[in-house]
């Protein structure tokens, strides 16, 4: 379960797209930002789909064990919250990497 969280975090954060400094102010930079956001959205949908499948399997495995069900519900909520957070960070990285600033130069 922790591996899923780690993989999701790495996958969502790793979708950044770097743009060379000489292209930052050019109009062509915008499609790269849109492609990055699309990648973030695609990864988020993929990982949430996987998490829903994992959650359904765990609920089924819990059967009528109330303690197990409560634990699994909390675990699912934590994972979904992490995925939402990572999705937001991924999108922010797309905007950051495509910004019009000089990056401290």
Q: What are 49-87's pLDDT values in tens digits?
A: 999 999 999 999 999 999 999 999 999 999 999 999 999
- 0.85 surpassed by pTM: no
**Over residues 22-28, mean pLDDT:** 43
Torsion-angle region of residue 18: left (phi > 0), alpha (psi -120 to 50) or beta? Answer: beta
Q: Domain map of the chain by residue range?
A: 33-60+76-98
Which comes out higher in pLDDT, residue 105 or 70? 70
Query: How far from 3 is each of 17, 26, 68, CA to CA, in Å?
Result: 25, 40, 20
Q: What is the pLDDT of residue 95?
A: 76
């Amino acid at each position: 379960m922790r591996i899923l969280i780690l993989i999701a975090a790495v996958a969502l954060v790793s979708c950044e797209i770097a743009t060379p400094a000489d292209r930052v102010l050019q109009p062509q930079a915008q499609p790269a930002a849109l492609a990055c956001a699309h990648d973030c959205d695609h990864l988020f949908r993929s990982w949430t789909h996987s998490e829903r499948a994992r959650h359904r399997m765990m609920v089924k495995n819990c059967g009528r064990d109330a303690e197990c069900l409560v634990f699994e519900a909390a675990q699912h909520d934590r994972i979904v919250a992490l995925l939402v957070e990572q999705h937001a960070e991924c999108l922010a990285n797309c905007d950051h990497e495509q910004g019009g600033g000089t990056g401290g130069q």
